Every structure is written in structure tokens, then in C-alpha cells.
Amino acid sequence: MLRKNRIFTPGPTPLLPAAQFAEASFTAHHRTADFRNLFTRVLADMKEFIGTRNDVLVLACSGTGVMEASVSNLTSPGDKILVLTAGKFGERWSGLGKAFGCQVDTLSVPYGQTFSLDEVRSRLTPDIRAVYVQATESSTGVRHDVKGISKLVRAQGDDTLLVVDAITGLGTTHLDVDGWGVDLIIGGSQKALMIPPGLAYCAVSERAWQRMESSKSPRYYFDLRKERKSAAKGETAYTPATSLFAALGAALEYIRQMGNGNLEAGREDLVNNAELAAEMTRTAAQALGLKLFAPQSPSGAVTAIEAPAGVDSGAIVKEFRNTFNAVVANGQGEMKGQLFRMAHIGYYDYLDTIGILAALEQVLAQVTGKPVEFGAGVRAAQEVFARQPETAGAVR
């Protein structure tokens, strides 16, 4: 049969056609009224997408660039920070903290698990200047309790900031950034926004802006204060990725249409879409006798599934690619060979979801050499879908 190329990885994710057209046809110079109009509209829309009244900045870099900015702008060498880590992206926080001379305190739990709030509470001391965590840990498929963690951090007062890497969390997870008091939340273009890699963004609280006035870590390109000043004039400090802004504008418009003209409603629909695809995937995997890698607190962003005993997950990834031209992700680091990951971030609909689950049944039969009850996973997913109230439906 034909093999259309499809990606199911936790970034980059499938591209929205309207965004691709907008990107390809955009030619304006960045110091013009045309670009300023686009830029100003995109920043305003991004506030609604994130769900915040805080300043939003969009930078030309991958997600890690803004993760770095959240360390260099909010800390000084010697500052004590607390990193909550449960996977490869949590470990990135530790690396960044050390690179900027912070005294890094880590609360780490095994891959596939999340933190108990009691443990978090016991590690929070008044001298911690900032807490760093993921909303969804893309390497394991875990969802962390950002609401619960925020509550504990806010109880410390204004001297402890909370930074959340929601790079795969935004658009897949219900987050109340301002209500919970998150000081800096980070996202990336190649995830739920359905556009290519190259932009990363953040929303910054007043507390965080204040901190930047006294923090002493070196920064230049990633000096967020400079970007804030330029943004107030409808510009970026340096040359922006203009065509990606055009793509972003089109993607935000699409999300607004999902919400019948209301961007925040569209964002909620996009989150519900991911949550539903994730639930269909988890249920199907279990119906096929597979084990979830993060059963206790699975995310709506990505589902990590353990390879059956005696099977290398690399063989599963390869079979998906060879037979169906579908790209799923292997485990990262020590998890390589043990699990595979299927993402639900952004532009996936019912047919994509059912299709990849049907393909999973074929892949399992191939790699295990054992009979698979075809339809068992798909049926379980169908039942999840059929139980949904109509309004919680797929991307329209």
C-alpha cells in the first residue's frame, strides 16, 4: 500500500497546512509596519493561548534557549535552586543550573514516576531562589502536578520563583498560569502550535521581572529585559524569524476557529483533543497486553509504552517506519530499547489516532512473531471515543 509519511513524535509534530502556506508566502522586512502588525497581534494571541496576562516573549531559538534564559535571567552564581527531575528534560535543568554556577539541589524520582507533594514540601527551604520543573516530562510520558507544586512554592512567599518547562505541556494540559502563580512558563513552536522548530516562548510574571533587576548571571542574546523593551515597541531586539511568526499567526487563527472565534475556547479544545487521543492510546495499548511506562500519572502529551518482553523497542520504531512510514520515538538515554513513545501534541485527529493504533497491532504481530488479536486495541480506543460527550470532540 501507499505509505504516507506521518510523525508521532513529541516534537517536531505534524504541520498545519495553513501555517505552512503563511510561512512560505511571507516576505515582509522586520522593521516595517506589516511585520509590527503581525508581531503585535501574535503576542496578544499568545497570551490567550497560554492563558495569561503576563508579558509574553517569543524568541528565535529552540525550547532549550528559553530554558537557559530562565536560568541566566533569574539567578546569580551561587544561588540555590531546586530542580524537580524525573527524566531527560528534568536533567537538562540540572545541567543548566550548574552551567550558570547555581547550587543545584535536586529532587529526583525514577523514570516513569512523579513527585509526591510531601517530598516537594520537605525540600522547599526559604533560601531556594527558584524551583524548576516540567509540566509534562516528554522522555517518560509523565504529567507532573504543577498546580500542587505551585501551591507549595507560592506558600514560600515572593522570594522563591517557579519556572515550568511546559514545552509539551502547553496545548496538551490544562494549566492556569496566573491563577497558580507560575513565574515563568516556557513553550516551543514545534509542539502543540503545529509549526516548525525555531521559536520558543515564555510568559513572565511581575515577580520574575523584579528578580531580573538584581540577578547577576551573564546573558546577552537572551537578556529578557531587552526583549521586553523591544516588544513594547512592536519589535524584537534582534532579527526575528519572520516567516515563523507568519506561521504562528496562522496557527493561532486556526485554534481560534476551533473555539468558534474564541482563542481560549479553542485552546481548551486542543487540550481536550490531546487528552482524548492519549486516553484512546493508553486504553488500546493495555487491551493489546502492553504495559504503560508511566501508568500512575500519564500525560496528554505523549504516551510511553514498554516494549514486550524480549523485544527491543528500536525494532518497533523501525517496523513503524518501514511498513507504514510512521515515525514514533524510541526511549531516550537509558530508556532506549525499552520503550517507545507516541505523541498527541497538536495536529492529530481521530483518523490519525485510530490509524496509528491499528498500525501498532500490525507492528506487534511482526516484531513478536506471535498472533495478535487484530482489532482488540482499536476496539478499546473506539469505546473510549464513543463515550465522549460530543463537544469534547476531535480537532474540527
Ligand X SMILES: *Cc1c(COP(=O)(O)O)cnc(C)c1O
- Among residues 7, 8, 9, 10, which is the contact residue for ligand X, using CB under 6 A? 10
What whole-number distance in Å separates Cα of residue 255 and Cα of residue 244? 16
Q: State the pairing for strand pair 184-188/199-204.
A: antiparallel
- Among residues 9, 168, 205, 313, which is the contact residue for ligand X, using CB under 6 A? 168
Q: What is the rounded (10 degree) CA torsion for 117, 122, 126, 131?
A: -40
Is 64 a binding residue for ligand X by CB under 6 A? The answer is yes
**Nearer to ligand X among residue 94 and residue 134 (C-beta):** 134
**Nearer to ligand X among residue 11 and residue 300 (C-beta):** 11
According to DSSP, residue 292 is labeled: B
**Nearer to ligand X among residue 305 and residue 378 (C-beta):** 305
Is 134 a binding residue for ligand X by CB under 6 A? The answer is yes
Is 304 a binding residue for ligand X by CB under 6 A? The answer is no
Residue 189 CB, shortest distance to ligand X, in Å, is 9
All residues at 6 or more sequence positions from 136 whose CB lies less than 8 Å from its CB, including other chains:
142, 143, 144, 166, 168, 169, 172, 173, 299, 300, 301, 302
**Nearer to ligand X among residue 42 and residue 167 (C-beta):** 167
341 touches 303 (CB < 8 A): yes
Residue 222 CB, shortest distance to ligand X, in Å, is 13
Residues numbered 175-214 forming contacts with ligand X, rule: CB under 6 A: 188
**Nearer to ligand X among residue 16 and residue 367 (C-beta):** 16
Residue burial 123-138, b: 16+ Cβ < 10 Å; e: rest:
bbeeebbbbbbbbbbb
Is 165 a binding residue for ligand X by CB under 6 A? The answer is yes
Segment near ligand X (CB under 6 A); pick from 62-70, 119-127, 173-181, 257-265: 62-70
End-to-end CA distance of the chain: 27
- Name the closest residue to ligand X (Cβ): 63
Is 355 a binding residue for ligand X by CB under 6 A? The answer is no
**Nearer to ligand X among residue 166 and residue 380 (C-beta):** 166
Residue 159 CB, shortest distance to ligand X, in Å, is 26
Is 13 a binding residue for ligand X by CB under 6 A? The answer is no
- Among residues 6, 28, 36, 62, which is the contact residue for ligand X, using CB under 6 A? 62
CB atoms within 10 A of CB 294: 25
59 touches 198 (CB < 8 A): no
All residues at 6 or more sequence positions from 335 whose CB lies less than 8 Å from its CB, including other chains:
111, 139, 140, 293, 304
DSSP secondary structure of 186-225: EEETTTTT-S-SSEEEEEE-HHHHHHHHH--S--STT-HH
Is 89 a binding residue for ligand X by CB under 6 A? The answer is yes
- Among residues 11, 112, 346, 355, which is the contact residue for ligand X, using CB under 6 A? 11
Q: Does residue 329 come out as left (phi exceeding 0), alpha (psi in the -120 to 50 range) or beta?
A: beta
Is 382 a binding residue for ligand X by CB under 6 A? The answer is no
Q: What is the rounded (10 degree) CA torsion for 90, 91, 93, 99?
A: 180
Segment near ligand X (CB under 6 A); pick from 160-168, 256-264, 291-299, 336-344: 160-168
**Nearer to ligand X among residue 109 and residue 265 (C-beta):** 109
Residue 169 CB, shortest distance to ligand X, in Å, is 8
174 touches 27 (CB < 8 A): no
Residue 125 CB, shortest distance to ligand X, in Å, is 26
Is 63 a binding residue for ligand X by CB under 6 A? The answer is yes
Q: How many residues does the chain have?
A: 396
Is 124 a binding residue for ligand X by CB under 6 A? The answer is no
Is 242 a binding residue for ligand X by CB under 6 A? The answer is no
Distance of CA 82 to the CA centre of its chain: 21
Footprint on this chain of ligand X (rule: CB under 6 A)? 10-11, 62-64, 89, 134, 138, 165, 167-168, 188
